[in-house]
Structure 1
Amino acid sequence: MQSVQEVPEHDAGVSPADTIRAENAEGDGTMTTSSTRLKKHADATKDERLDEEKASRSSNSMTGETTTPTKTKTTCRDLTQGMKKTDQAPQTMPQDQRDNAIQANTVNASIRSKNAGSKRKISKRNRRRNKQFTDPDQLESEIRQAYFSAASWVAMRYSVSVEDLIDHVRAGGLHHAARPSSASQYVEDIVLSVAICQGSEQAWSDLRQVFDLTLTRACTLSMSEHDAMVFVQKFLSDLADATERAVNSDERSDTTIDEDAGLRDYIGLIPLRVWLTNRILATLDEMPRPETRPATDNGRAGRTSLQLVP
């Protein structure tokens, strides 16, 4: 007796056309029919796995990465349902490669920090340059604001108006200075200089009282205290004469340029105390050095002494 057995369909995605019925004659006269659909599905799964491995190798070769071989365990059930179980071994990096990677990251971090620091320095320089080249109208506006906020009481003492202050800094060339915005910090000193240029005796008295001791101490580094006091009085007298000549030349509209304009040249770039100290020290440097006396017969050497130039 012959019987026909058909293997049940395990995959609904396979069409009946893919099933091949084959009758095999058994020894006892029975006929068996087996389906090759399962075999075709297993072959297709293997082909898909090979395609995936090829794609993975090609992508790794493009990115320059290396991967460790994987172990694939496929069961009969996975073949029938088209599933795979993959146990991938963890990727390990040799010690030398790990050290090189750490060193490279450290170098890159230091380079980035240096670049960021240089960018910050450039931005600071740009801000300083923007402050250096200030608009004249904006500069005068800042000076006016500082005049009313910080130097109003000094201006009332010496009867100096804000227009007198602006004319003084304009004539001194503040707009062409390196850092003109610093003048707003020393408006009180500028007002004192303007008052002296206008001939205020009270302003001269205040200047001598405030800066006399400072200038004397600066001169004691090169001469005795008595000589320093005398030298400071002479320095202030010469400063007053130079200031008066500069003011008179401005009133006459004289084109002759005097090298020393006295306080007419002070426009508030530095404090008046520093400005006067620098001038008096420069005057000391220009003084001729006295000659030393030769040694006497008793072996005592002559002592050097500074002499004031009349």
Structure 2
Amino acid sequence: MTDTMRPRRARSASPGQWLSRALVTILLLFFAAFFILPIVWLVLAPTKSNTQLLLDGPFSFGSLDQLGANWNELFAFGDGIFTTWLGNSTFYSFAALALTLIISIPAGYALALIQFRGRRVLLITTLVVMLIPNTALVLPIFLELSALRLIGNPLAVILPFSFFPFGVYLTYIYFSTAVSKDLLNAARIDGAGEVRVFTSVAMPLATPVIALVGFFSFVGNWNNYFLPFLVVGGTKIPVQVGLANLLSNVPAFNPTTASSIVIQLPTLALATLLSVAPILLIFLFAQRFLVEGMTAGGTKE
């Protein structure tokens, strides 16, 4: 057997390589612990009383009975105001989501597949607005809503939420790269008008990007705190603003609270979990479409 035919032995790693791998592993474990351990603590905290949370181990499990007691305390706060906050967030997010899809999907389709005057200007404007931080737009939006006398109205939350240039850009990329223009042209040759081509041919092919735009829009709407904090109040606030109100009634964070009803830390942790639960549920049910939407534009037909 010649030397060229002998199987090559795996080269052993040098001490320097072992050291670099060990450092990388330690670094990854550190960041994993840094992000995962607070989530584990948050999941376990609602099962404890306030005393158990402060004195017992941080990752010990309390009891289901205590979880039920914290649940009752949360939904009894303010005569069930937490349920109202959840309902407000649901209404604002889904109403804005519907408007976002109605506007973003046709707009992205038109920018990608229809030639018209001003198309390039609109595309560049969309990209520029997409790069502007949302907080930078809060003041002009507030002044505009004030001029229209919409402050305190649910429309003051829904209309700005439905403004989603990133969704237009995602749809533009999808239709530019993942949808065959020959298929659309074939429908036009068969006599279909532009509206019918869009509704009967393009829309069924755009399910992944619709799910992707819808998910990003819903997450952004649900988690938005600053704008609803400014434009609505009272019982109209969403759950993210409501969490700040709960925080002000926690003695550990606000020792000077004068409220007759205080919220303990385990109850606040339970409220936090419930505030993110809708996003987690939607992600679990829509993850297949989200993956398709994120990878559909990777290759051009």
TM-score if structure 1 supplies the norm length? 0.19
TM-score if structure 2 supplies the norm length? 0.20
- Greater strand share, 1 or 2? 1
- Structure with greater Cα Rg: 1
- Greater helix share, 1 or 2? 2
